[in-house]
Structure 1
Amino acid sequence: MDRDELGSWLRLATTPGVGNLAARKLLAAFEWPSAIFTQSEASLTRCITPKQAQALLTPPPQWQTLLETTWQWLHAADTPAGTARDIVTLGDPRYPRLLLDTEDPPLMLYVVGSPERVHGKPFCEGRCLAIVGSRNPTAQGADHAYEFSKALQTAGLTIVSGLALGVDGAAHEGALAACGPEAAAEQPAATIAVVGTGLDRVYPGKHLALAHRIARHGLLVSEYPLGTPPLAANFPKRNRIISGLSQGTLVVEAALASGSLITARMAVEQGREVFAIPGSIHAPQSRGCHALIKQGAKLVESAQDVLEECCWAIGPDSADKSVLTNVLNGPVVQTIDTPADTTSGAPSDHPLLKALGYDPVGLDTLVERTGMDTASLQVQLLELELDGAIARLPGSLFQRMGRS
C-alpha cells in the first residue's frame, strides 16, 4: 500500500463518530477510502448520518502525525531480525477469512511476525483455537493452559490468545514450547497474540520478551492505531478478534464477571465452538467455566476432547502419531506404564498428595487429614513443592498440580 492509500484508510478508521459499521457501508458504496473523501456531503448521507458525513469532510486531529508515524513504523530499518510489519485492510486477500465472516470485522489489522506469515495469503489460515482465562489463575489453571496449548499446538493447531497475564501468557508459552526454537518461518503460526494496544508498545510490560518470541514464531495482531495506550475499554472489544480468528474457544479458568466470558459469548454469536475446563467448586476462578458448561459449552478433560468435537485429525502428517496420542490423552504429557509423575520426584500415590486432593487446602486441614505434626507436615510440603508436585497459594493454601 502506498502512502496516500494508507492515509485514506487511517482517516476513515480514525474519524470521530464513524465506526466500523458506517465505514463498511461507505466502502460498499464507494469501494475505496480514497473515493469516500471525494464525495459531497449529500452523497455521503445516502449511506450514513449527516453528522457522520460532516465529520468525514474534516480530517481528524493528528491524522497527518499518525500517518507519518505509521509510515515510518512500516518502513523502519531497525525491525527486529526475522520479523516484518504490515497492515491488512478489508478487501485485502490476506485478510483472515474466519474473521471476515464475523459481524464486526476490523477495518485495519496491524500485524507483526515473520515475513512469510505476515505476507501470506491470508496471514492467518488453518486450524486455530482460542485459549483464554483468568489473569489471576490458580497454579493448576496456569498449568492446564500451558499443557493444553502445548498438546494442541503439537497436533497442528495455532493457539490464539490475548497476551494478558495469567492464562493468556501460559497459553502462548505452551504453544511456543511445542513449536521449538527452530520452527520454520513458513509453517503456520504457533500462536497469535491479539492485543489491546498499538503494536508499537507491549502491555503488560512483563510480557515484552514473550511478545518478541511470538513475533518470531507466530503473529502479533491489533486493530488499534500506533500509540494507542492500554485503555480498559479496548480489551473487551478486541476479544471479538480472538474468537473471530478461531474455530473454537477454550476457557481454562474464569470468574463469573470475566473478560473470558465475553470472549465465549462472542464465540457463540459467531457460531463457533466453546469449550470449558471444570475446576474446584470452591474456586472462584472455576465458576465462570461451570456457568458455561451449564449453558451448553463442551466440558473437556483432555486435548483429545477438543480435537474430537471439532472433527480435527490428530496432528500433522509428519508427526509421530504414537507419541502424539500419548500427549493428547490428557492435559499433561505423561509416559505410559510409569506410575510416578514424570515431571517431579513425587509418586502420584504419595500419601500427602492423596490427602491434598485437588482443591486448595490449608495447613490445619492437612494436619486433621493426615494426623501428622505441623513441623513434619511442613517439611513434606516443602519437598513436594520443590518437586513441582504442589503449589503454594496465597493465604497459606496448598494445591496439587495437574502433573501429580
Structure 2
Amino acid sequence: MPDDLPDSTEALLRLVLAGGAPGPRRALLARFDDPAQALRAGPAAWRAAGCTPEQRALLALPDREALARGLQWLALPGRHLVSVGTDDVPLLQPVDPAPLALFVHGDPAALWHPGVAVVGSRTPSPTGAELATEFAGALARSGLCVVSGLAAGVDARAHQAALEVADGRTVAVVATGLDLTYPPGHVALQARIAARGAVVSEYPPGTAARPGQFPARNRIVAGLTLGTLVIEAAARSGALITARLAAEIGREVFALPGSVRNPRSRGCHRLIRDGAQLVETPAEVVAGLTGAAANLGQALRWRLDAPTEQARSAPGGAPPFPLPHYQRLWNVLDENPTGMDSLIQRSGLTADQLSAMLLIMELDGKVVANHGRYCRKP
C-alpha cells in the first residue's frame, strides 16, 4: 500500500470491492468509527451486519488485481474515495440505494456546492443543443454547479457551457471506472471537468461500461442536485429516468416545452403533464430552486460553515451570522454592490468559498446579486 494513503482509504476501497447489496456494508460503517475498524472487526461483525458469505470472503481476501488498481489510481494527484455517510454527502442519503462511496477525480467539495442537473437527448435537435448551452451557461453564471452525465448531446453541451463561464463549476457522474472514459471521444472534456470541478463514479477503477450502469448512474445525478432540468427527451429516455428519480426524492423537476412535431419533446411534455415545472428561461429555474434550497439548506449550511435558521432569528444584538466565515462575509457586505475580487480581498476567503456562501445567502433572501456584484438585500 502506498505510504501516503491512510489505512482507512484502503479499508473503504476493500468494502467497495466486496460488492453486493450496500446495506450490510453501510451498517458496518455506521457501527464503527472508520472503515479500518469495520474491516478489523472481523467475520463475526461482518456476519452480524448481514454481509453475505461472498461479501465476507472478499472482505477477508479481496481481489488483489482490483485492489492494486484502485490503490494505484488513488495514489495519483486529485484522486479521492469519499464515503457516502450522513456527514459526508448528505444530499445522497435519500437515494435508494445510496452508493457506499464515490470515487472522485477533482475537488470533493464540488459535491457540496448547490447544483442543478441538466440532462436530455444524446442526439438533440439544433435548437435543443443551443438551449442546453444557453441554460447551462446561465445557471453556471448564477453560481450553481451544473451536474450531468458526460454523455453525448445535451450532457456534453451542459458541461462545456459551464466550463466556458468564468469560475463556472460542473460535475460529471459517469458509469465506468474513472480510469476510463465513455464515450471515448470525451477524454479531453473529462479532464477539463476534473480540473474545474469533479468527475465522480460509484464504480472502482477498471470497471467498463455496461448497460445497467447508466440508469444506476442517473440516481446519483438526481441526488447530488437541488433539481433536474430536462432540455429535450424522447418518450423513452434516460433523462426521464433522472427526472423520475429526482421527483421520488423530493427534488424539483423542470422541463422545456418544444414543438409537438419534435419527437424529442414528447418526454418533456409528459413530464409537464405529470407535474414538472414548465420553464422558458434560466431565471425561472433559479427561482424554482429556492424552495428546494430552503428544504435542503440545513445540511449545506453546517457543512459550509453557514448559519442555521435558529441562529439567524436570535433576538437582540446577536450577530446575524454567528459562525465565523459567514459573519466575516456579512461584515464586508453593505448596500453598495461589490465585485468578487473586492470581496476576496476584504474577507480573506477564497473564490470557491465565497461563491457557495453567496449563493446560499442569495437563496435565503439576505443578499442581492447583479451582474457579478453583491450587496445586502435592502
Q: TM-score, normalised by structure 1?
A: 0.67
Partner residue in 2 for 1:332: none
Q: What amino acid is the match of 1:128?
A: G
* CA-to-aligned-CA distance 1:93-142 (integer Å, 9 cap, x gap): 5x3331234343211211112xxx34xxx442232000000101111111
Which of 18, 21, 24 aligns to 1:22? It is: 24
Which of 207, 220, 234 aligns to 1:228? It is: 207
Which of 93, 97, 102 aligns to 2:90? It is: 97
Query: Greater shift after overlay, 274-283 or 40-49?
Result: 40-49
Partner residue in 2 for 1:256: 235
Q: Note closer, same or farther for the CA distance 1:177–1:96 as it changes in structure 2 (3 Å cut).
A: same
1:111 match: secondary structure: strand
Which of 77, 98, 107 aligns to 2:100? It is: 107
Q: What amino acid is the match of 1:265?
A: R
Task: Kindly indicate whether the alpha-carbon contact (under 8 Å) linking 1:267 and 1:273 is maintained by their aligned counterparts in 2.
Answer: yes
Partner residue in 2 for 1:393: none
Bigger share in helix: 2
- Unaligned 5+ segments in structure 1 are 184-188, 326-404
Which of 232, 252, 264 aligns to 1:285? It is: 264
Q: What amino acid is the match of 1:68?
A: A
- Unaligned 5+ segments in structure 2 are 294-336, 341-367, 374-378
Partner residue in 2 for 1:47: 49
Task: Kindly indicate whether the alpha-carbon contact (under 8 Å) linking 1:11 and 1:60 is maintained by their aligned counterparts in 2.
Answer: no
Where does 1:4-403 land on structure 2 (aligned, <5 Å)?
Answer: 4-16=7-19, 18-39=20-41, 43-48=45-50, 52-53=52-53, 55-59=55-59, 63-76=63-76, 79=77, 84-91=78-85, 95-113=88-106, 117-118=107-108, 122-179=109-166, 183=167, 190-311=169-290, 318=339
Q: Note closer, same or farther for the CA distance 1:281–1:64 as it changes in structure 2 (3 Å cut).
A: same
Partner residue in 2 for 1:2: 5
Q: What amino acid is the match of 1:162?
A: G
CA-based RMSD: 2.8
Q: Note closer, same or farther for the CA distance 1:247–1:58 as it changes in structure 2 (3 Å cut).
A: closer
How far off its partner does 1:277 sit?
A: 0.3
Partner residue in 1 for 2:310: none
Q: What amino acid is the match of 1:74?
A: L
Q: What amino acid is the match of 1:5?
A: S
Bigger Cα Rg: 1
Q: Identity, % of aligned pairs? A: 42
How far off its partner does 1:57 sit?
A: 3.2
Query: Greater shift after overlay, 20-29 or 137-146?
Result: 20-29
Q: Note closer, same or farther for the CA distance 1:323–1:33 as it changes in structure 2 (3 Å cut).
A: closer
* CA-to-aligned-CA distance 1:74-93 (integer Å, 9 cap, x gap): 223xx5xxxx1111113495
Q: How many residues align?
A: 299
